[in-house]
Structure 1
Amino acid sequence: MDEIEVPQYFICPISLQIMKDPVTAITGITYDRESIEQWLFTNKNTTCPVSNQPLPRDSDLTPNHTLRRLIQAWCTQNASLGIVRIPTPKSPLNKIQVLKLLKDLNDPKSLLQLELLAAESERNKKCLLEAGVPRAMIMFIVNCYKKGQIQKGLEEALSILQFVKIPREECAILLKDNDQILDSLAWLLSHDEMENSIAVKSHAVQVLKKSSARTTCVAFSRGSNPRSSKQW
């Protein structure tokens, strides 16, 4: 690979690797999708890493199909030298697909699919959040608690809550029913007969810690100190 001269414009400015899914930011710079999404959503940056211009996290990342085809053609031409052709990227996850999965949460396969999607990319996490998946997962857990039933899918629901972070504003709304949320998680910790009991309890502990921390934050933000909500 070191002996092959790769066109510079095939290289992502962040990863310094050949781009698999080139996308162009509003600043006009092209990046590999995975790298720029990690820069924006995981690292919480709001500037273009090359130009240092403002780059809001909700700004469009436009697929650069022409460049992707050029890269694929170049990979094919150099296949004899060990270059592997990059695959055509999958269509982005959309809200309709997520809502279809949410309609059938009693099917463990739906929860497993949501978990896999959450683990796949930052773009998917954003889509799941916008589709209301965290709220749906919490309600799934609370409903299991109300019924007193240990259902398949609890491990996946808890895992999804760890993958997809709930914004402060939405968390404050969810915590209005905080007693049920915390009681539900505590209820899970008291059961040993669950399938994958250790994994379920491990996830539950992590979510419980976050919920408890947010409860404290909400209490402070509703107090008399006007600076509390800003510091949260």
Structure 2
Amino acid sequence: MKQYSFSFSPGMLEEFKKILPANRSKKILKNYLLNEYELPESLTDLQQAVHNTVIQPYWMSEAEITKIDRLIKQAKSKGSTINRSSVMRDIMKDLIERYKDNPIQKGEQHRQTFKVPYGTKKRLALLVEEGNLTYELSSFIMEGYIPSNEFPSMRNQKQEDLNFSTDIEVFNKMDEIATEYGFKKGGRAKIFRDALNQFEDSLQSEPPKKMALKQELKYILDEYKSIEEISVIREEVSKYLKE
């Protein structure tokens, strides 16, 4: 699994999150992408620019990203230039249409306060919007988290409380992992801190906004290369960077 970032319109992303709960949305999206989704006959909508976008990272398997790239090549063979974000937006649009009149009900919710190293919340606030933390972290625990085998003690560390409220399935997943590692007391907290640490590291090493902008830049340059000489493009980019 590797993290990829995609750009969506704010309204589309919020509607998707309301209709599909965090612990199930990625599985549904993955299944639809791999087993059902194909490009529409008309690619006009996929080629339209989206303004005021928000960035959403997703943990994706090699099979998923390969399918998306195959669809991009398919569109190119038909004379249309699209990118990964435009494919994901179309997939999300389809799923919203499918579930909007029959949204998947959120499962039982659970809440717990975890002790985390002091300063964690401040760092997270710089990396992910507060309103998205629960969704992002829940998705990471369910889809991207692999235990590190390192569970340092919180003793003699300055601590702060982090409140975490999400679907009970996310807590069950942490409990399953804690049991596998033989933890009896405080196992869930150890797993949560390990997952949180990995989640933060992933955001710091590959900031979603930077990743999405790199993908958009590649898309723009590929499109530009189809109508202009590379030497001219290189000169234009060089001028821009010098400004």
TM-score by length of 2: 0.31
Flag the structure with larger Rg: 1
TM-score by length of 1: 0.32
Which of 1 and 2 has higher RCO (CA within 8 Å, sep 6+)?
Answer: 2
**Higher relative strand content:** 2
